[in-house]
Amino acid sequence: MIPAEDVKIRARELGFEKVGIARVGALPRSDFFRSWLASEFHGDMGYMARDPDRRVDAATSLPGAKSVVCVAKNYHTLARPPAAASTGVISRYAWGEDYHQVLADRLDALKAYLESRGARAKRCVDTSPVLEKLWAREAGLGWQGKHSNVISKDLSSWLFLGEVLTDAELAPDPPFRKDHCGTCARCIDVCPTRAIVAPYVVDSRKCIAYLTIEHRGPIPRELRPLMGNLIFGCDLCQDVCPWNKFAKVSPEAEFYPRDGLLAPKLAEFLGMTREEFARRFRGSPIRRATRDGFLRNVCVALGNSGDSRAVPALARALEDEAPLVRRHAAWALGRLGARSELERRWPEEGDPRVREEIQAALTDAS
């Protein structure tokens, strides 16, 4: 039998600030996941609804699994600078290198350690079919706040989570059962789109993080004005969380901002080719949004900026190869009152969906 403390020591040596162990079995609150899916709160994330039994039962990912080693990595780095109208806001987790790879490398090392002790093991990051927030709670790492993120009393909610499933029977930690949110509702109140439809319940279809990253289609018009200058992710619900005043600074250089991502100039993103997008964001989580989705987000932010200096860049985006980008460029030009650019494009536009956006934007600009 492998001593649980040995596994924890190795996890800490690998740089994980928190580690806990849960026993594989019935997962408390998994019924909530099923009701969340039934409400269609997962939006376009069809992979979430695909084989929900597999997500609920960790043993389906590693037959014979007896323990889940849960780890947390702090990614809190710099204070966010004040945002200007012409700059965009990117979620903290995407400022640096792709956390999937950073965590995967260390989890692989933890997996190798367990295997060297005679156990079978499998590592998981958030792309794996494992309900990591619920397992983190079962392993005693923290509780799920009303914004649904895991909160640690000593490390805040700026945490990446990861797991190693193993057939080793490790002594489990006490689950974290107490909720320390109390009557606080700051995260609910601050959400511009009211995506937190009830405490602990997030409707992804309204969540700005989902809309700017996972969603592949047009952003609903009624939500666009509420997005401000958020172009990849959000963080507002975490920014206001009182527990985050206890956040410690991460020692990991990989999580510190790349050049140009702390307060990026919005107009400079427009016009990027697919090759330029891939090159600029190689090794970055931002690639998840795709080039077209990211430029869609930038157009919305410029439309919300009130800055007429953005009109030339948006006018060029109105001729972008991607209809998705042209649609949102049209909306943004309408918000900025640029009728002449919309009227110029109208006779040349062949996509009926873009023409409809131009027509709506001309109405808004009148």
**292 has catalytic annotation:** no
- Choice among 6, 44, 126, 167 that is catalytic: 126
Answer for the pair 354, 322: CB distance below 8 angstroms, yes or no: no
Q: What is the 3-state secondary structure (H, E, C) of the chain?
A: CCCHHHHHHHHHHCCCCEEEEEECCCCCCHHHHHHHHHCCCCCCCHHHHCCHHHHHCHHHCCCCCCEEEEEEEECCCCCCCCCCCCECEECHHHCCCCHHHHHHHHHHHHHHHHHHCCCCEEEECCCCCCCHHHHHHHCCCCEECCCCCEEECCCECCEEEEEEEECCCCCCCCCCCCCCCCCCCHHHHHCCCCCEEECCEECHHHCHHHHHHCCCCCCCCCCHHHHCCEEECCCHHHHCCHHHHHCCCCCCHHHCCCCCCCCCEHHHCCCCCHHHHHHHCCCCHHHHHCHHHHHHHHHHHHHHHCCHHHHHHHHHHCCCCCHHHHHHHHHHHHHCCCHHHHHHHHHHCCCHHHHHHHHHHHHHHC
User: Which residue in 305, 309, 308, 278 sits closest to 294, CA to CA?
Assistant: 278
Q: Which are the catalytic amino acids?
A: 126
